[in-house]
């Protein structure tokens, strides 16, 4: 679906995930407002369906072509599900200590690289009912929060890599996409 199409998939059906080099992935998403309530209510179940089907642990609205500051995530999809909706998330604080983890992205399928980020973050956000919350964490939670908030700002995990590593990974992705298209 194009980013101008306001309708989401019905009943939480999966949506197409935008892949690099789609230009929408490099744009800054706008804040969600009360006027977006109906669209957000439809997008949330569709985004969870898309994320779980991929499979992934986080998905930002720009990845499905919607330039809205909306993230869904579940960092424990194989254990007890813990789905979380973050509307207008904002990093309030991060540690000076860093941690390096292997990251991947649904918009760069089957591409992984070690990314160094702050080891701990504190984020404020609103839930789907408009209630304000804060969440803080380290490890996978911190990495996922930062990765998804980056998407809202047009930043991809490959932007943290050296130019050489980034170019190798992007060339490999382009080849994989061409190969998959040729097999259809």
Tens of pLDDT, residue by residue over 97-155, are: 999 999 999 999 999 999 999 999 999 999 999 999 999 999 999 999 999 999 999 99
The count of domains in the chain is 1
Rounded average pLDDT over 44-62: 96
Question: Which residue in 102, 128, 134, 148 is the catalytic one?
Answer: 148
CATH code at position 179: 3.90.45.10
**% of the chain exceeding 70 in pLDDT:** 92
- Domain membership of residue 4 (yes or no) is no
Mean pLDDT computed over 15-44: 97
Instruction: Please state whether the peptide bond connecting residue 55 to the residue before it is cis, i.e. omega within 30 degrees of 0.
Output: yes
Cα distance between residue 89 and residue 29, in whole Å: 11
pLDDT at residue 14 greater than cutoff 60: yes
Q: Is the pLDDT of residue 13 over 80?
A: no
Q: In a 3-state reduction of DSSP, which class is residue 8?
A: coil
Choose among 128, 106, 100, 5: nearest CA to 53. Answer: 106
What is the domain range of residue 34? 10-183
Is 148 noted as a catalytic residue in this protein?
Answer: yes
Question: Dihedral sign, CA of 47, 53, 57, 59?
Answer: negative
Closest to 102 (Cα-Cα) out of 81, 88, 116, 92: 116
Q: Which residue has the higher pLDDT, 176 or 144?
A: 144
Binning pLDDT at 50, 70 and 90, where does residue 84 land? very high
User: Is residue 2 domain-resident?
Assistant: no
């Amino acid at each position: 679906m194009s980013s101008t199409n306001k309708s989401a998939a019905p009943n939480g059906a999966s949506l197409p995930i935008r892949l690099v080099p789609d230009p929408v992935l490099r744009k800054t998403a706008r804040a969600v407002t009360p006027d977006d309530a109906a669209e957000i209510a439809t997008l949330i179940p569709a985004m969870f369906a898309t994320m779980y089907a991929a499979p992934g642990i986080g998905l930002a609205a720009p990845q499905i072509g919607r330039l809205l500051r909306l993230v869904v995530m579940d960092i424990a999809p194989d254990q007890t599900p813990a789905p979380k909706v973050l509307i207008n998330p904002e990093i309030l604080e991060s540690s000076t200590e860093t941690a390096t983890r292997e990251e991947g992205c649904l918009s760069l399928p089957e591409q992984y690289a070690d990314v160094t980020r702050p080891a701990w973050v504190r984020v404020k956000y609103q839930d789907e009912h408009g209630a304000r919350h804060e969440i803080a964490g380290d490890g996978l939670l911190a990495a996922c929060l930062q990765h998804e908030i980056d998407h809202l700002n047009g930043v991809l995990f490959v932007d943290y890599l050296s130019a050489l590593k980034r170019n190798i990974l992007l060339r490999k992705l382009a080849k994989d996409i061409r190969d998959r298209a040729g097999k259809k």
